């Protein structure tokens, strides 16, 4: 197996310096001043990063992406060092996503190894938060490539729980099903231990709500409240686009769902993007916040009051979307 470059090889800060940066408050999310930033998932080159910084200026802040290779991290470090507020696991990118729900010890061991590497990356860049997709309703390792992941999520054991075939969307009863519960419980137990490990290093572990797809864990406001109550060191990442899809699939009021999760007091970071979902249509487009039909003003009013970090995770018009969020965070008119 090829060894990944260590932090020293990537030209980053020593771990103790990174831990100090992570604790200093400006990158903490909900502890001190909240930050508006952008996910690097929408930037595929150094030129794109440079262009964004040129447009936004000295206040440009970033979330490291799970799609970033060790090589790209090393190349980008001079541009973004001192500007990184969070990292999305796994970072650097890995062949598989973490699956803390698996009953296979080898899958869990690799997941924890990858999360340790991600913690090292976060510390090296001074990030105060690491965002995590907690796991899946399978013992298998889950490929990070969608093309490789789709056949696993189409396996026969998932079919009985599919309510909407387009997108393999589940219903609200899925989380109470016999096939789901043991995976959720294993993930919760391991999340607590991992969150405590991260907290000792000065970094917050934030679990993200996922799309309501069969095979994925933790979609609903109720589940996010359960996660928030597990341990003082376990935090949440509220993905407003994913929750928008879930509101149509599960039939709850979207804005009330947002308020419920924010009301936990445990949201460290918000992922901000829109999509074209509606009743009977479920799309995780990660489109501009100005997507027609998306309740932009109401959403930003709710999340801007949360003191969580506000991270644009759209894949288009990143500077324009950042300016919209900056205006909302400052209490100004956005349109």
Structure confidence at residue 11 (pLDDT):
39
pLDDT value of position 335: 66
Domain contains 41: yes
- Residue 74 covered by a domain: yes
Residue 7, in any domain of the structure: no
Strand ranges (DSSP E) for 11-109? 36-39, 62-64, 84-88, 96-97
Cα–Cα distance, 143 to 94 (Å, whole number): 9
Q: Which domain holds residue 19?
A: 15-329
- Count structural domains, the chain: 1
* 316 found inside a domain: yes
| Tens digits of residue pLDDT in 8-37 | 434 344 344 444 544 444 344 444 567 999
- Tell me if 123 is assigned to some domain: yes
SS3 189: helix
- Residues of the chain under the 70 pLDDT cut: 1-33, 335
Cα 119 vs. chain centroid, distance in angstroms? 15
Q: Is residue 132 part of a domain?
A: yes
CATH number where 246 lies: 3.20.20.150
Residue at 291 is within a domain? yes
Instruction: Please state the pTM of the whole predicted model.
Output: 0.91
Tens-place pLDDT, residues 272-305: 999 999 999 999 999 999 988 999 999 999 999 9
| Structure confidence at residue 18 (pLDDT) | 46
Q: Domain for residue 334, yes or no?
A: no
The answer to whether the beta carbons of residues 235 and 206 sit under 8 Å apart is yes
């Amino acid at each position: 197996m090829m060894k990944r470059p260590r932090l020293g090889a990537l030209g980053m800060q020593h771990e103790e310096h990174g831990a100090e940066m992570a604790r200093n408050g400006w990158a903490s999310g909900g502890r001190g001043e909240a930050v508006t930033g952008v996910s690097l998932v929408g930037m595929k080159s150094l030129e794109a990063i440079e262009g964004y910084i040129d447009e936004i200026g000295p206040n440009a802040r970033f979330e490291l992406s799970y799609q970033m290779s060790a090589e790209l991290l090393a190349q980008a470090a001079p541009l973004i060092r001192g500007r990184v507020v969070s990292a999305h696991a796994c970072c650097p990118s890995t062949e598989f996503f973490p699956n803390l729900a698996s009953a296979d010890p080898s899958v869990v061991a690799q997941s924890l190894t990858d999360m340790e590497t991600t913690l090292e990356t976060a510390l090296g860049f001074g990030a105060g938060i690491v965002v995590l997709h907690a796991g899946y309703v399978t013992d298998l390792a889950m490929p990070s490539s969608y093309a490789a992941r789709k056949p696993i999520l189409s396996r026969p054991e998932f079919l009985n729980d599919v309510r909407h075939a387009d997108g393999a969307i589940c219903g609200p009863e899925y989380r109470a099903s016999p096939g789901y519960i043991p995976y959720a419980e294993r993930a919760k137990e391991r999340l607590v231990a991992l969150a405590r490990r991260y907290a000792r290093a000065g970094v917050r572990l934030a679990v993200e709500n996922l799309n309501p797809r069969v095979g994925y864990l933790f979609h609903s406001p109720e589940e996010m409240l359960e996660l928030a109550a597990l341990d003082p060191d376990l935090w949440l990442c509220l993905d407003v686009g994913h929750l928008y899809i879930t509101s149509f699939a599960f039939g709850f009021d979207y804005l009330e769902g947002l308020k419920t999760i924010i009301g936990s007091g445990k949201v460290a970071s918000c992922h901000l993007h829109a999509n074209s979902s509606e009743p009977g249509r479920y799309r995780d487009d990660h489109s501009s916040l100005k997507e027609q039909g998306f309740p932009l003003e109401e959403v930003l009013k709710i999340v801007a009051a949360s003191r969580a970090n506000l991270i644009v995770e759209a894949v288009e018009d990143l500077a324009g979307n950042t300016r919209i969020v900056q205006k909302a965070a400052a209490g100004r008119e956005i349109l």
